[in-house]
Amino acid sequence: MDKIKIRFDTKILILVCLITLFIYVAYWTSASYNNFFGFITGSDPDVVEYVSFLGIVFWVGHIGLTARIIGVFLGMLSMILLASKFQSFSRIKILVFLALILESTYFVSYIPNTPYLWREEFTGTFYLGLGYFLQFLLVTPFLAMLAYKTIKYKQTLVDQSFWKWAGISFVTYTSALWVNAMFRWFDMGNISIDFLNSAVFMTLAIVFSISAARSLSKVESKAAKWIGIALMMIGLHYSVYLVSSYFIGMLNFVFLADIWTIPLLILGISLFFGKSA
C-alpha cells in the first residue's frame, strides 16, 4: 500500500483539462441563458416557441447547466489552490465536495430527456433517450458517494475507502462517456469510421479504467499509469473525432460531443510516462 501524491505538473494539466471543460460548459450555458432571457422577455418569438416546445426538458436542463458551470469553477479553484500550495487537500476538500455534488446534479437534469425522446412523434431516438438515463445512473449516485467520501477524507491516514470510490467513480464516469459516444450511433444503424473510433477507443478506456480502479482500491501508485492509459484512449477518441469532423465538413456539430476531453490525452501521457506518485 503506497501513499498517493499528485505531482505539480499533473495538477497543472488537470487544471488545463478543467479550464477546457469550463469553456465547453460555458458555451452551452450561455446559449441556455440567451434562450432563458429571450423567453422571459418575449423579445424573440422563435425562442419562446423553442422553449415552450421543450418544456420541462429546457428548464431542468437550464438548472443542470447552471449547477455544472459553478461546479467546474469550484473544481478549477480547488486545483489552483492545490497547485499553488496555499492550501492542503484537507482544507479545500469542501470545494471538491461541492464540485462533485454539482456535477452529479447536472446529470440528474438528463432524466426528463428520456421520456421526451421516447414520445410517439419522434423516430430513431430510442437509444439516445436511453443513453441519457444510463448516464444519470452511471454518474450521479457514484459521484455523490465520492463527494461523501471526500468530505470524510482524513489526509493523515491512508483512506482506502476514499480511493476505492474514486476508482469506482472513474470507471462509471468513463462508462457514461462511452454511452454518450456509442448510443448516438445505435439509432443511426450504420457502421462508419467514427463508429469504429468510438467502439475501439472508448471500450479500451473502460477496460483500462477498471484496472485503474483495482489499483486505486489497493492504494497503489501504479494506478496512475492505468489512469493515464484510460485517459489517453478517451483523448485519442475525441481527437480522431475532431479531425474526422474537419475533413467531412461537420465542425459546426463538434460541440454536441464531449470534445472537452481532448486535453485528457496530454494528461494521460504525463501520468503514464511520468514517475508514479
227 with 170: CB under 8 angstroms? Answer: yes
Matching residue, cell 470510490: 165
Residue 149 has pLDDT above 90, yes or no: yes
Question: CB neighbours of 40 closer than 8 A, spacing ≥ 6?
Answer: none
What's residue 63's pLDDT? 98
Q: Which of 45-59, 136-150, 240-254, 259-273 has the lowest mean pLDDT?
A: 240-254
Q: How high does pLDDT run on average in the chain? A: 92
| Cα angle 131-197-135, degrees, rounded to a multiple of 5 | 20
209 with 224: CB under 8 angstroms? Answer: no
Q: Return the C-alpha cell found at 33.
A: 441563458
Percentage of the residues of the chain whose pLDDT score is greater than 70 = 95
Cα separation, 71 vs 22, whole angstroms:
9
pLDDT-derived band at 73, boundaries 50, 70, 90: very high
Q: What is the pLDDT of residues 97-124, one digit of tens each?
A: 999 999 999 999 999 999 999 998 888 8
What's residue 86's pLDDT? 67
Q: What is the pLDDT of residues 174-213, one digit of tens each?
A: 999 999 999 988 887 777 888 999 999 999 999 999 999 9
What's residue 155's pLDDT? 67
Residue 241 has pLDDT above 60, yes or no: yes
Q: What is the 3-state secondary structure (H, E, C) of 70-107?
A: HHHHHHHHHHHHHHHCCCCHHHHHHHHHHHHHHHHHHH
pLDDT-derived band at 270, boundaries 50, 70, 90: very high
Percentage of the residues of the chain whose pLDDT score is greater than 90 = 75
Nearest to 102, CA basis, from 122, 78, 81, 72: 72
Query: What does the domain layout of the chain look like in residue ranges?
Result: 8-273
Look at 7 and 249; give whichever has higher pLDDT. Answer: 249
pTM here is 0.93
Residue 2 has pLDDT above 60, yes or no: no
State how far the alpha carbon of 80 is from the alpha carbons of 59, 188, 229, 243, 249, in Å.
32, 42, 25, 31, 37
Q: Which secondary-structure segment (H or E) carries 158?
A: none
What's residue 156's pLDDT? 60
Longest Cα–Cα distance in the chain: 62
Helices (H), 85-217: 89-108, 113-117, 126-151, 160-188, 193-197, 203-217
75 with 99: CB under 8 angstroms? Answer: yes
Nearest to 21, CA basis, from 68, 78, 83: 68
Q: Which secondary-structure segment (H or E) carries 159?
A: none
Cα separation, 21 vs 41, whole angstroms:
30
What's residue 220's pLDDT? 86
